Amino acid sequence: MTVLPGADAHADAHADAHADAAGHADADGHPAETGGRQRIAAYGLCRDGDGRVLLVRAAPSTHLAGQWFLPGGGLGFGEDPEDGLAREFVEETGLTVRAAALRAVLSDVSVLPSRVRVHTIRMIYRVSLFDGEPRPEVAGSTDDVRWVSSDLLATLPVADYARRALSAFA
């Protein structure tokens, strides 16, 4: 497993707004909440037989409209990351998948248009098995799904975390 540092703007389109809380450390010396929220997410790096990578595009209704990213998203409370990844893949791409291996854990902080800070911890899985034909999500946070060649990838507006994950595991 590789841990890659960095920042990115891909935060949950449905982020809850929380009031800022002041503070530096708790009684045990751990960092105190300084305003914002934390989000845990799972994403899949899926390639077809031609080496193309599967990407989804953020819908116009989101603050990331037009950006491309790896299929996946936020986990529900208590949700197993691999189950969440499979759920998100079906929602965003129509494909049934199984995570093969955890490839990286990325951490970034972004600011939503509502000015809420979001610390996202992203688990990036390699997806080796998939079934079905890609289809766009209906009335969701994404509006397109596409197998993307490395030549086309260089021309698309790809979210920072996805570009970092793809370059680390090209």
28-49 pLDDT tens trace: 555 545 578 999 999 999 999 9
Residue 74 is encoded by which pair of tokens? Answer: 């936020």
Give the C-alpha separation, 144 to 93, whole Å.
8
3-state secondary structure of 144: strand
**Residue 62 confidence class, pLDDT cut points 50, 70, 90:** confident
Residue 108 is encoded by which pair of tokens? Answer: 């970034």
What value does the mean pLDDT of the chain take? 81
Residue pair 5/88 in contact (Cβ under 8 Å)? The answer is: no
Question: What tens digit of pLDDT does each residue of 137-169 get?
Answer: 988 899 999 999 999 999 999 999 999 999 887
